[in-house]
Amino acid sequence: MKIAELGKATVQAELTVRREMAIRIGRQVAFLVVAAVFGLLAVLSGHALLWAFAYQTLGFSVLGAAILVFAVDAVMALLFLLLGRRSIMTPTEIRARFAREHALNELRQALALTAVTSAIAGPVGRQALRGLMHLVRSLFGRKGGI
């Protein structure tokens, strides 16, 4: 009965870990989608506006304005790429991982104890006990007729 309960606890912990991982990966995908959308919009609309602002208002040359636009795009893409690549486990996922490992260790110990118990109580154990008793009788039994 204990093995079934430990197995059930292990499965529950594993399901919690998988659910939390799915949420975390979903969050990462959402950040990456936002980064892609922002990158596309920046390419489509922001280039012309930033280039014109740098050229006319700030007094940049044509090449300087183009370099400024490229630098701003690269910084924004890098920022959202870093946000999308970040993978921080939530406290629930950490607790679920600990619970899973604890349940697996308990299950391994229970299975090992069951294997030892069944070997001792089973046919192999009985045969070994018979052999041991035969050895004890032969050592302490009579040797010849005194």
What confidence tens digit (pLDDT) does each residue in 8-28 have? Answer: 888 888 888 889 899 999 999
List pLDDT tens digits, range 104-137.
888 788 777 777 777 677 777 777 778 878 888 8
Q: Check whether residue 95 and residue 66 sit in a common domain.
A: no
Q: Check whether residue 113 and residue 55 sit in a common domain.
A: no
Q: Check whether residue 80 and residue 95 sit in a common domain.
A: no
Q: Check whether residue 102 and residue 140 sit in a common domain.
A: yes
Query: Concatenated DSSP letters for the chain?
Result: -HHHHHHHHHHHHHHHHHHHHHHHHHHHHHHHHHHHHHHHHIIIIIHHHHHHIIIIIS---HHHHHHHHHHHHHHHHHHHHHHHH-----HHHHHHHHHHHHHHHHHHHHHHHHHHHHHHHSHHHHHHHHHHHHHHHHHHS--S--
Q: Check whether residue 57 and residue 82 sit in a common domain.
A: yes
pTM of the model: 0.40
List pLDDT tens digits, range 73-92.
889 889 988 888 877 888 88
Q: Check whether residue 98 and residue 123 sit in a common domain.
A: yes
Q: Check whether residue 26 and residue 95 sit in a common domain.
A: no
Q: Check whether residue 81 and residue 126 sit in a common domain.
A: no
Q: Check whether residue 94 and residue 83 sit in a common domain.
A: no
Determine the structural domain holding residue 112 and report its residue range: 90-145
* Domains identified in the chain, total number: 2
Q: Check whether residue 27 and residue 71 sit in a common domain.
A: yes
**Among 32-36, 53-57, 134-138, the least confident range:** 134-138
